[in-house]
Chain A
Amino acid sequence: MYELKKLSRVYPKGRGKVAALSGVDLEIPDGEFITVQGLTGHGKTTFLLMLGALDKPTSGKIIFDGKDLGAMPESQLVDVRAQNFGFIFQNYNLLPTLNAEENVEAALVPLGIPTAERRARSIAALTEVGLGDRVGHFPSEMSGGEQQRVAIARALVKEPKVILADEPTGNLDEVTSLEIVALMEKLWKQRGMTLVLVTHDTKVARRAPRTAVITKGKLTMRDNRAPKVITQGPPGAAKPAGAPKPA
């Protein structure tokens, strides 16, 4: 589980500074599905990088399973990432020279798993995301949706505690987006891991019990299961989301 305490991340910008995240206090219990919403440039990716130990806070703390990620050296963080976090990116980030199976396998390489087992697990993961017949295909031979499925298989093949997805459907059409989100939800339900999903789409955001709304680096939590209270945070953040609801 995560504990975020007064977490801030300040980037230098020109002569000044920009607080991509400021004073975030949050707890995410194990196995929760959280969506993250916010306008472009308001700090969603920064938030996810913090959760994935890919970036360190400027101040405050991020504690994962009792470990202070901000205080750990990179060499140890690599291992934490290898074992616990599965990433899914907007632009898939598959390695272009490796085929689907090899891309998935790459996530098992740092764990010291023997080759045969790595292959078997990779093929099983690909089968789970519906690509059992595409294991030998290269990214360039697959559609965006298929590539994102490979990325999902890569994220889940090591059975991480947390899956972090940064706008995974941002480059996909509506139908494919729904399929991908449905797939992730299904896997979350089956496996009981923590799932943090950044999305622009309020419909998608509302599928999670809670949504973290980030506005100019400030985070507020919205409870999607309390229909009466639509907006909790600053008005700007949830404005478009309210529209279809009253019907």
Chain B
Amino acid sequence: MYFRYLGRELRRRARSAALVAIGLALGVGLVITVTSYAAGVKAAQGQVLSSLYGVGTDLTVTKAATAGPGGGFRFSGTPSSSAQAGQSFAQDHLTSAAGLTTISASDVTSISKLKGVAGATGALALNSVHITGTFTGGFGPGASASAKATPTPTPTPTATATASASPSASSSGFGISTFSVDGIDPTEPGLGLLSGPNIASGASVVGEWFTDVQSSNASDQTLALVSSAYAKQNSLKAGSTVTISSTSFTVLGVVSVTETDGADIYISLSEAQSLTGDTGDVNTIYVTADTSNGISTVQTEIQKALPSVTVTSASDEASNISGSLSTASNLANSLGLGLSIAVLAAAFVLAVLLTIASVTRRVREFGTLKAIGWHSRRIVGQVMGETLVQGIIGGAVGIGLGVIGAFAVTKISGPLTATVGATGLGSSAPSGFGGGGGFGGGGGGFFGGASPGAFSSARSGFARTFAASNHSVTLHMTAPLSLEVFGVAAGLAIVGAIIAGAIGGWRAARLQPAVALRRVE
């Protein structure tokens, strides 16, 4: 009886029932589309972040280079006297990665002891510049430029020097090769750049490396891992030898990491320290928090304990992402959410109004039912059942619409690009290096370290990306659909229907049978 009555009633006013169901379906469809789109955008952001930042690291602690010692290195191609003209030279410069200055290794220990910290490991991110060439003489016009640059302890204006030097000086005879080196603490294999989740390939050789380097065997100390890109470029393979600052290392294997800013060569931390003379120092600390909720607390704690360092979290990085990904994210968050809330609210209002209209039209019917002994709750149940069916149909159709919508949105939006801007990320290359061609000059300093403040929140990894001032990643948009979202969205439709039914049912229940029966239509 219940379902027959319910079904007949819905069929009688099929059009208004369909309207309510369609309204709810649109709301549900939009919620699903927007949610899945937002999830897709979030996943894309996560992808960008992990490629920029590395998986498994919650916070990175660095210290910006300040003017003065440690902020880079100085180099002069200027021979001490013109007598040296024609002689060849080779110079190796191994320095802290651009913009970074060293932090005492004891800070790693103190960070790891902070509450909420799961682990911390120190690394020494270095850049090696290898220069070979022949002095060609002709120090006329170039000399003044180089002379200006060379003695300056902090050659902030090196860009000017380099630029002016290059056209005037004879530009033959310089060969430069650069690569990045990371000194990895072998006692913490679970943290930092070479931690498990961050390794895209070569996990087993990484494991082997950690075991070997931890051993006391002296020859194992000079084992190195090279990145697949660097290995390809320089035809390196297991067993090859690489030379860093006149020290030979044996390549144990090839590895590639998720983070785009992985180093070219990985060696043990102690080796890296002895190569630079920074014994007991690191310049990047990778920190993992106990829980993702605790990250910001840990960030504050570290900052409090070590006021001079810069602590960067993934969310700091997220705010620096721009490009269509960022637009999509804003769209999904603000417009999409607002729109779906508006449509859902409109659907709710529509459902309530049409239910009330239906109840009003059936006043005599409900009065009759009360007269023949139907309890109010039975009548309310009938009305709520009717709206519930509309809600279920709306929810089901809405899920279909949502799937179509999510599909359409990925098709329409196409691939997204994310650009990590220079803002505070230290991706802008030091000025001196920006015009690589400028090295041909007979002199002139380059790479004069960071200008103070330029790398205020630089991260070693990213700072190594010399190439461009902006870093762009192209992503394929996905709009992942989950049962959970279906459930919640359809649940909203059903809740809306129940609300409408409750309001309509309440009006029906309040009805005085006598009034209803007197009514003549």
Contacts from A to B (Cβ < 8 Å)? 45, 49, 52, 54-55, 74-75, 78-79, 81-83, 85-87, 89, 91, 93, 95-98, 102, 105-107, 109-111, 115, 118, 154
Contacts and interface: CB of A to CB of B under 8 A. Distances in A.
Interface string B350-379: 000000000000001101111111111010
A107 B378 CA distance: 13
Given A96-B365, A106-B372, A110-B375, 13 more contacts: A45-B518, A55-B513, A55-B514, A74-B376, A81-B372, A89-B368, A96-B12, A106-B5, A107-B372, A109-B1, A109-B378, A110-B378, A154-B372
B479 to A, nearest CB: 42
A85 B374 CA distance: 12
A193 to B, nearest CB: 16
B375 A106 contact: no
A120 to B, nearest CB: 14
Nearest to B7: A97
A15 B515 CA distance: 20
A143 to B, nearest CB: 19
Nearest to B377: A75
B373 A95 contact: no
Contacts of B365: 93, 95-96
29 contacts: A45-B518, A49-B514, A49-B517, A54-B371, A78-B370, A79-B373, A81-B370, A81-B371, A83-B373, A85-B371, A87-B371, A87-B372, A93-B365, A93-B367, A93-B368, A93-B371, A95-B368, A97-B9, A98-B5, A102-B4, A106-B5, A106-B372, A106-B374, A107-B372, A110-B372, A110-B373, A110-B375, A111-B373, A115-B1
B1 A54 contact: no
B8 interface: yes
Interface of B: 1, 4-5, 8-9, 11-12, 364-365, 367-376, 378, 512-514, 517-518, 520
A49 B513 CA distance: 9
Contacts of A86: 372
Contact of A54 (B5, B8, B12, B517): B517
Which 7 A-B pairs have CB atoms at the shortest separation, nearest pair first? Answer: A82-B373, A97-B8, A55-B514, A110-B373, A93-B368, A81-B373, A107-B372
Nearest to B2: A109
A144 B188 CA distance: 92
A195 B72 CA distance: 110
B4 A107 contact: no
Contacts of A85: 371
B32 to A, nearest CB: 34
A110 B514 contact: no
A21 B367 CA distance: 22
Contact of A78 (B375, B512, B514): B375
Contacts of B372: 81-82, 86-87, 106-107, 110, 154
B512 to A, nearest CB: 8
B513 A54 contact: yes
A115 B365 CA distance: 22
A102 B11 CA distance: 16
B374 A110 contact: yes
Contact of A93 (B12, B364, B514): B364
A103 to B, nearest CB: 10
Nearest to A81: B373
Contacts of A82: 372-374
Nearest to A107: B372
A105 B369 CA distance: 11
B368 A78 contact: no
Contacts of A115: 1
A166 to B, nearest CB: 8
B226 to A, nearest CB: 79
Interface centre among B371, B378, B512 (most CB of A within 10 A): B371
Contacts of B9: 97
Contacts of A49: 514, 517
B375 A75 contact: yes
B314 to A, nearest CB: 60
Nearest to B514: A55
A49 B515 CA distance: 10
Given A93-B364, A97-B9, A105 B370 contact: no
Contacts of B375: 75, 78, 110
Nearest to A95: B365
B374 A78 contact: yes
Contacts of B367: 93
Nearest to B371: A87
Contacts of A91: 520
Contacts of A107: 372-373
Given A79-B373, A93-B364, A98 B8 contact: yes
B3 to A, nearest CB: 12
A78 B514 CA distance: 13
A106 B369 contact: yes
Nearest to A93: B368
Contacts of B378: 109-110
A190 to B, nearest CB: 21
A97 B9 CA distance: 6
B342 to A, nearest CB: 34
Contacts of A111: 373
Contacts of A55: 512-514
Interface centre among B4, B11, B514 (most CB of A within 10 A): B514
A74 B8 CA distance: 29
A217 to B, nearest CB: 16
Nearest to A82: B373
